[in-house]
Amino acid sequence: MRPRDSESPVEMRTRPIGPHEAPPLPRAGPHEAPPLPPVGPYEAPLPPYRAEPIALPARRRDRRPLPVVLLVCLVLLVVAMVAGIAIGSVGLNPGSVWQVILDHLEGHPNSTVTDAIVWEIRLPRVLLAAVVGAALTTAGTVVQALVRNSLADPFLLGVSSGASVGATAVLLFGAFASLGVWAISAGSVCGAVVAMAAVFFVSRTGRQLSPTQLILCGVVLSALFESVTSFLIFKGNPQATQSVLFWLLGSFGNANWTQLPIPAAVLVVAIVYLVTQARPLNALAMGAEPAASLGVDVQRLRRNLFVVTSLMVGVAVAVSGVIGFVGLVVPHIVRLLVGSDHRRVLPVGVLFGATFMVVGDLLARTIVSPQEMPIGVITAFLGAPTLIVLIRRRPYLYGTTQ
């Protein structure tokens, strides 16, 4: 029974209700919410509302204070370096190690066996390993941002293989002999620049850079450069072949103080420049078009990154040989620990990569003592399980951490 149009609200509330008519709803006051409609005979009542707890987001890794992270990494690096100097075929006391270093810094060296072991043999080796590890980690970080591919690293893209071609030509045929002690570094840098330029231009399609095509071209050209190196070894001086082969496997066995200035200087200049370009690197990691829309000169930035990476890889290969896996694994481990912001990744990666290489070199010369293993074997054994464990614990995509 429908209410008559002529009925007023008061009449509707006072007149009797028919057998098939629902009771009218009570009117809400001016400050009251309207009442809910009644539940019909065939309608299930609504379940009572239960407030669900709000899940608070987990603490982001990039919110960890950067000074604290750097301090922890620096302490780990110092501990690793002291262990690398003290542990060996002749064991030394860490106190004796510090005493020798302080004596030389104060200008009062001692003519003792411990002094010779620490200052002439082990300290230059440990410092060189730290510099090379930091350089390869930084180069890997830059290359991955440059091509936006998580598989990219100087070794996979053929840069290390190109540098080895230049260094092998110097060792076997005396190329750049007029440069004296700088000859190997010059040959390695030239080989790295040529290799990276070849990979960069071959993989381009018009003005676009395909990450997949870049990786494929890098793998192919890396194999080509390795075959050129093998050909040079075959045609070179047989007396120098064994030393060249051992050098190509990666080793710091010939480290001395004269090899430190160039890699250290290149690393410092490269880090200073890259830290100032951290924000453009973050934009470039999102793609060329987003970076250009944010005001980044993409072509100029890529050219500068190309030069910086080639220099770092060239000088690293010149003093240590070809050491793979460091530029691929360590940047991902650093991103998993501190996030993807290059303002944090670059400085932390320098210290973490240096620690990683120092520990790897220590294991390479102590596991099969008195012999020495190629350090590339150790870096692969250390890096692969560490990265797998971190990925299994925290899902990871390039550029983001979930």
Cis ω for the linkage preceding 370 (within 30 of 0)? yes
Task: For residue 398, give both structure tokens.
Answer: 């390039």
Residue among 196, 195, 192 at smallest CA distance from 311: 192
208 - beta bridge partners? 205
- Name the residue among 275, 277, 396, 267 with its Cα closest to residue 340: 396
Q: Which of 112, 111, 115, 113 is nearest to 99 (CA)?
A: 115
Q: What is the reported pLDDT for 60?
A: 54
Amino acid type, 33: A
The answer on pLDDT for 207 being more than 70 is: no
Distance CA 176, CA 156 (A): 27
DSSP-derived 3-state class of residue 205: strand
DSSP, residue by residue, 260-296: SHHHHHHHHHHHHHHHHTHHHHHHHHT-HHHHHHTT-
pLDDT for 206 beyond 80: no
Alpha-carbon distances, residue 306 vs 154, 186, 303 (angstroms): 11, 17, 5
> CB atoms < 10 A from the CB of 356, how many?
29
Binning pLDDT at 50, 70 and 90, where does residue 141 land? Answer: very high
SS3 (DSSP) at 396: strand
On average, the pLDDT of the chain sits at 79
Q: Where are the domains of the chain?
A: 95-101+112-401
pTM: 0.77
- Amino acid letter at 318? A
CATH homologous superfamily of 95-101+112-401 equals ABC transporter involved in vitamin B12 uptake, BtuC (1.10.3470.10)
pLDDT (0 to 100) of residue 36: 53
Of residues 101, 130, 95, the one with CA closest to residue 118: 101
- In this predicted model, which residue has the larger pLDDT, 77 or 24? 77
* Sign of the alpha-carbon dihedral angle for 157, 159, 165, 167: negative
The tens digit of pLDDT for each residue in 322-370 reads 887 888 888 988 988 888 889 999 999 999 999 999 999 999 888 887 7
What band does 52 get if pLDDT is binned at 50, 70 and 90? very low
In DSSP terms, 110 is beta-bridged to none
Dist CA 304 CA 313 (whole Å) = 14
Segment 393-400 shows an average pLDDT of 53
Identify whether the C-beta of residue 98 lies closer than 8 Å to the C-beta of residue 376: no
The whole-number pLDDT of residue 56 equals 41
Segment 267-288, tens digit of pLDDT: 999 999 999 999 999 998 888 7
Report whether pLDDT(400) > 70. no
Would you give the DSSP letter of residue 204? E
Contact between residue 30 and residue 36 where contact means Cβ atoms under 8 Å apart: no
pLDDT greater than 50 at residue 10: no
Contact between 276 and 126 (Cβ < 8 Å): no
pLDDT at 401: 44
Q: Which CA distances in Å does 130 have to 65, 155, 218?
A: 24, 18, 27
Q: Are 154 and 183 in contact (CB under 8 A)?
A: no
Query: Quick check: 402 pLDDT over 50?
Result: no
Residue where the block lists tokens 């040529």: 194
For residue 136, is pLDDT > 80?
A: yes
Pairing mode, if any, of strands 400-401 and 204-205? unpaired
What is the token pair recorded at 91?
Answer: 């064991």
Q: 54 pLDDT band (50/70/90 cuts)?
A: very low
Please give the pLDDT value at position 15.
52
Check whether 189 has a pLDDT greater than 90: no
